[in-house]
Amino acid sequence: MRFAALLLISTGFLLPQQQASFDVVITGARVVDGGGSPCFYADIGIRGDTIAAIGLLADAPSRTRIDARGLTVTPGFIDVHNHSYPAIFDQPTAPGFLLQGVTTMIGGPDGSSPLPMKAAFDRLAAHKMSVNMALCVGHGSVRQQVLKMENRAPTPAELNRMRELVRDAMKAGAIGLSTGLFYTPANFAATEEVIELAKVTALYGGFHVSHIRDEGNGLLDSVKETIRIGEEGGLPTQITHHKVGGLTNKGKSVETLRLVEEARARGVDVTIDQYPYTASHTSLGAALFPQNAFAGGNASLLERLSAPEQRARIKAEIVRRIEGERGGGDPKNIVLTSCAFDRSLQQKSLSDILRARGQQPTIDNAAELAMEIQKKGGCSATFHWIFEEDIERILKYPFTMVASDGSITMAHPRSNGTFVRVLGRYVRERKVITFEDAVRKMSGLPAQRLRIYDRGLIRPGMKADLVILDPAKVADRATFEKPMELPVGIRDVLVNGRVAVRDGKITAERAGRVLYGPGYQAPK
């Protein structure tokens, strides 16, 4: 006991004789600190927005006292891939995320971000919200501003303009460069173009995160490309929402993880993030149509669909993707989620729609239907094409972190379920990883990757983003049929020392902040 007391003192923790007053004291907590270490029991004292002490604080005076006996305290979770900008302005509490314990969201993913970024940061800084938010600068947005939807390489002058846009974004506070090489117009870019922008990002301490070019049959080459961008760009690089899709690709996570491990062994800082679902979500056009069909914009696409030879080539690619990739071999695996031109189609699969029309749900008919839908404006959809064995293998990898790829408004259960699903299904039920490691993948590891050095761990001096939860009850309730159902098991959430959730209910506190990247240059 005497040794333990000395240890607490030597590490800056407080014993009763050292107690002072606090704004908040959390007592009786089982602490999982975000670093992957075994849990320990302690009280936590908070002053202002900062963890001031950890130790025996039950008798310390405080303005607010939270009894956490029988519960676990973790750092606030950091969602490294989030689409809630600009929806955060309409729903500043971000309820589906806050009630999962998410206290920080990283926006601007998949190569798409607001530009200019200074204006976006200024707008966020003036906004009262319940969570912290950072933003990446999107390569696709930068490319579109300079080249529109043209399928060609930039001229030297155009590439310099793209570099300037990335440089300005990093100075404005962007935390890194995101790429969505699967999407247009970013898909039109050669790897060398991205490397040049990565080099600019590296000068400001940023990282690169990529929705890789192909998560289906071109998976391995796409992982190699993402590694190359980090290696030649001179910065950390991350495969986002890493998955293995398509009937012939099951089990290929063995090979992708080998590629990552080999790169790390030669000094490339490669990491992964992942959501724990067997279905992805994106637009029908992006998932099924060949990317070059969108060159020149929507008007050009419609012209191609009216030209018999081009239409036949587009259809052949849609058939291939339904059969061997995004469709998982059956149109029933593609379920529409949002259709502005006809809301009656929502929550119906391509097979459902064809049968309702008296047509056979063949892949050929589904391809025709997809082209018809796109001509009318398109829809978003879920695609059931991912394998559970690959999800679990990727989750076990030490350098995988958890991320939702969701948004406040997205009709996919990952938005309201990702973090609690990992804790409930993959920790408690399936025992794929330990509770401590899951928390590390949600807090300490992403904070380290993002260079957010004052969050992600429970330590004196760190910002007081904290979650109090019941590990025996935490669970997701969102399903593909009811994606907006809220999670259970998270009792309290603190953001910057303020109580944002109390007894499972969101409070009036709006203590979230803008988190700027390491290259941020404050206005003089």
Angstrom distance (rounded) from CA 316 to CA 310: 10
Angstrom distance (rounded) from CA 439 to CA 35: 8
What integer is the mean pLDDT of 457-485? 98
pLDDT of res. 523: 83
Binned at pLDDT 50, 70 and 90, residue 8 comes out as very low
pLDDT of res. 522: 87
Residue intervals in the chain for CATH 3.20.20.140: 77-280+385-454
437: nearest Cα among 470, 472, 402:
402
Q: pLDDT tens digits for 138-193?
A: 999 999 999 999 999 999 999 999 999 999 999 999 999 999 999 999 999 999 99
Contact in structure between 313 and 351 (CB atoms under 8 Å): no
Write phi, then psi, for 176 (nearest 5 degrees): 175, -175
Angstrom distance (rounded) from CA 413 to CA 479: 5
Beta bridge partners of 499: 494
pLDDT for residue 4 is more than 80: no
pLDDT for residue 2 is more than 50: no
Q: pLDDT tens digits for 410-434?
A: 999 999 999 999 999 999 999 999 9
pLDDT for residue 492 is more than 60: yes
Write phi, then psi, for 308 (nearest 5 degrees): -50, -45
Which 3 state secondary structure label does DSSP give 82?
strand
What integer is the mean pLDDT of 228-254? 97
Of 7-11, 149-153, 244-248, the poorest mean pLDDT is in 7-11
CATH code given to domain 77-280+385-454:
3.20.20.140
Which 3 state secondary structure label does DSSP give 388?
helix
* Identity of the residue numbered 84: S
Contact in structure between 27 and 58 (CB atoms under 8 Å): yes
Binned at pLDDT 50, 70 and 90, residue 10 comes out as very low
